């Protein structure tokens, strides 16, 4: 996945977009299971493209926001100088980049100025603002996406990713075949953003705050060059790391750079998940811990079901729906049954290349899910994560092995102690299936109002007594 960063009159928007297939720039890709859809995954397109996490920082004028913007401008200049540009050109590139980021921040924040084109399989025109909103707004086919944002070379972008899959996995690779074939499996989570991106790409020039007029391709080239540097800077030599730390200290108040060993652990964990998860389970998660953890989870789930049967404010219709959902709730403890290793080349002494290859392999692995039968037991956390989560899209609780460690769990401790630590977290996760968000989903993960009008009035009491 080549990065086109050279300034040239022949530079086109197709080349610019083509060059950042493996970067989280103007948008990000995520494959997930739409709510209530058991037959296939969807590709979610989410607006991206800004460095600071709040669009308001770019838009609202205040001394605090201006301080952050100035820090970001200095950081962009510094990155471009470190990459080999002369200071004057680096400063101009940073200013151009920041101009585009301000524009993108406005796209993030603005409401749609007109209804977006409807997916060809749906008559409505509702915007997909909420992740996993396919039930309310419909999924797009590639042709619909091209109609939504015609200046973005979507077909070439996805075609190049398809070719990358074949290069990595062989000619038999089945990656994005359905998407390129016209299946409705694309969901832009804010379609107005992609409409505006396309219109911005149509502009032949931009007028900067200084009054300088910059050609459209030159502005985008500056921005993408800077964003690529920003994205890969954590993989580059110490001066880049020091530049990142200086920016982080101004944005979030970080006082010390993390020690090298932490960076190494994070890099290995991210790039070699098969190896790190397997080693962690072998060293730190015994069959006894798994068995006791599953027993605690089963007891708490049965107790929760017993409480639902006894609640006096339920009518029988709603109680039946609640019991159906609770009994259908899948509980996953420890880890998936197996891990499939990522396939990519690793070379000693080539940290940057190894990291880029790992990232590419992970992106392609995720995108290949579009062609697979959905796995409702698919995990979104590593086995060593000290955490747990409830997933509305599959009505399931996932509890990594990392949580079954002291102080939350100790296989040598009395069961009562483990109920007090580990058990409390499990009870919390189960109730997420019935909180203000989870209550909108039925036992099959469909978005459906299954609460009777009478019970809905007292739902806040349920939440107060159980959360």
Per-residue pLDDT tens over the stretch 199-236 = 999 898 998 877 888 888 889 999 999 999 999 999 99
Task: Write down the pLDDT at residue 229.
Answer: 92
pLDDT of 327 above 90: yes
Q: How confident is the model at residue 2 (pLDDT cuts 50, 70, 90)?
A: very low
Where do the H-state alpha helices sit in 170-286?
A: 177-180, 191-202, 216-232, 238-252, 260-271, 273-284
Task: Write down the pLDDT at residue 117.
Answer: 62
Q: CA dihedral defined by 164, 344, 260, 387, rounded to 10 degrees?
A: 80
Is residue 45 helix, strand or coil? strand
The closest of 301, 287, 300 to 401, measured between CA atoms, is 287
The yes-or-no answer to whether 13-257 and 284-336+377-466 have a common fold is: no
Are the C-beta atoms of 180 and 155 separated by less than 8 Å? yes
Its CATH class, for the domain covering 13-257, is mainly alpha
Task: Write down the pLDDT at residue 126.
Answer: 41
Average pLDDT estimate for 351-361: 91
Task: Write down the pLDDT at residue 121.
Answer: 61
Task: Write down the pLDDT at residue 35.
Answer: 66
Average pLDDT estimate for 43-53: 92
CA atoms within 13 A on the CB side of 95: 15
Average pLDDT estimate for 49-68: 94
In our burial notation (b when 16+ CB lie closer than 10 A, e otherwise), range 145-180 reads bbbbbeebbbeeebebbbebbeebbeeebebbebbe
Q: Are strands 42-47 and 186-188 parallel, antiparallel or unpaired?
A: parallel
pLDDT single digits (tens) 394-447: 999 999 999 999 999 999 999 999 999 999 999 999 999 999 899 999 999 888
**CB neighbours of 422 closer than 8 A, spacing ≥ 6?**
293, 296, 403, 404, 408, 409
CA atoms within 13 A on the CB side of 1: 28
- Beta bridge pairs of residue 214: 206
Structure tokens at 439: 């209550």
Are the C-beta atoms of 157 and 21 separated by less than 8 Å? yes
Task: Write down the pLDDT at residue 171.
Answer: 75
State the maximum Cα–Cα separation within the chain, in Å, rounded to a whole number: 74
Is residue 340 helix, strand or coil? coil
Q: How confident is the model at residue 125 (pLDDT cuts 50, 70, 90)?
A: very low
Are the C-beta atoms of 127 and 113 separated by less than 8 Å? no
Is residue 47 helix, strand or coil? strand
Q: How far apart are CA 121 and CA 42, in angstroms?
A: 15
Task: Write down the pLDDT at residue 210.
Answer: 79
Average pLDDT estimate for 115-131: 50
Does this model's pTM top 0.85? My answer is no
Which burial class, exposed, middle or buried, applies to 62 when counting CB atoms under 10 A from its CB (0-12, 13-18, 19+)? exposed
DSSP state of 421: I
Phi first, then psi: what are they for 408, rounded to 5°? -75, -30
Average pLDDT estimate for 28-55: 86
What are the residue ranges spanned by the domains of the chain?
13-257, 284-336+377-466
Is it true that the peptide bond before 47 is cis, omega within 30 degrees of 0? no
Phi first, then psi: what are they for 369, rounded to 5°? -60, -25
pLDDT of 79 above 70: yes
pLDDT single digits (tens) 243-263: 999 999 998 888 889 899 999
Task: Write down the pLDDT at residue 169.
Answer: 77
In our burial notation (b when 16+ CB lie closer than 10 A, e otherwise), range 389-428 reads ebbbbbbbbbbbbbbbbeebbbbeeeeeebbeebbebbbe
Q: How far apart are CA 116 and CA 308, in angstroms?
A: 43
Its CATH class, for the domain covering 284-336+377-466, is alpha beta
């Amino acid at each position: 996945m080549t990065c086109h960063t050279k300034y040239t009159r022949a530079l086109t928007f197709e080349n610019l977009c083509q060059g950042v297939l493996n970067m989280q720039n103007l948008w990000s890709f995520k494959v997930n299971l739409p709510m209530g859809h058991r037959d296939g995954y969807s590709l979610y397109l989410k607006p991206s493209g800004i460095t600071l996490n709040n669009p308001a920082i770019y838009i609202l004028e205040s001394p605090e926001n201006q301080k952050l913007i100035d820090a970001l401008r200095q950081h962009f200049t510094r990155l471009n100088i470190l990459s080999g540009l002369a200071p004057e050109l680096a400063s101009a590139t940073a200013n151009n980049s920041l101009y585009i980021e301000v524009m993108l921040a406005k796209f993030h924040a603005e409401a749609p100025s007109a209804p977006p084109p409807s997916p060809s399989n749906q008559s409505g025109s509702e915007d997909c603002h909420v992740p996993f909103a396919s039930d309310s707004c419909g999924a797009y086919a590639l042709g619909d996406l091209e109609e939504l944002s015609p200046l973005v070379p979507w077909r070439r972008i996805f075609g190049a990713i398809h070719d990358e899959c074949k290069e990595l996995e062989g000619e038999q690779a089945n990656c994005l075949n359905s998407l390129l074939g016209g299946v409705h499996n694309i969901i832009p989570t804010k379609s107005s953003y992609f409409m505006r991106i396309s219109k911005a790409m149509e502009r032949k020039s931009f007028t900067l705050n200084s009054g300088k007029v910059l050609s459209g391709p030159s502005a985008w080239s500056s921005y993408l060059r800077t964003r690529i540097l920003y994205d890969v800077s954590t993989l580059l030599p110490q001066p880049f790391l020091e530049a990142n730390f200086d920016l982080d200290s101004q944005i979030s108040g970080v006082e010390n750079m993390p020690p090298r060993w932490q960076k190494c652990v994070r890099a290995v964990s991210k790039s070699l998940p098969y190896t790190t998860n397997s080693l962690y389970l072998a060293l730190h998660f015994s069959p006894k811990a798994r068995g006791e953890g599953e027993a605690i989870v089963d007891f708490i789930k049965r107790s929760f079901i017993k409480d639902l049967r006894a609640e006096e404010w339920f009518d029988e219709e709603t109680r039946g729906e609640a019991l159906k959902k609770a009994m259908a709730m899948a509980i996953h403890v420890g880890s998936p049954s197996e891990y499939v290793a990522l396939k990519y080349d690793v070379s000693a002494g080539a940290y940057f290349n190894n990291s880029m290859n790992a990232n590419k392999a992970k992106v392609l692995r995720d995108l290949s899910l579009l062609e697979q039968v959905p796995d409702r037991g698919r995990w979104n956390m590593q086995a060593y994560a000290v955490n747990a989560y409830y997933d509305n899209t599959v009505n399931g609780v996932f509890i990594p092995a990392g949580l079954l460690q002291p102080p939350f769990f100790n296989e040598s401790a009395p069961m009562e102690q483990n109920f007090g630590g580990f058990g409390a977290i499990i009870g919390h996760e189960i109730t997420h299936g019935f909180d203000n968000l989870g209550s909108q989903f039925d036992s099959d993960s469909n978005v459906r109002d299954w609460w009777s009008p009478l019970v809905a009035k007292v739902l806040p009491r349920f939440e107060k007594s159980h959360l």
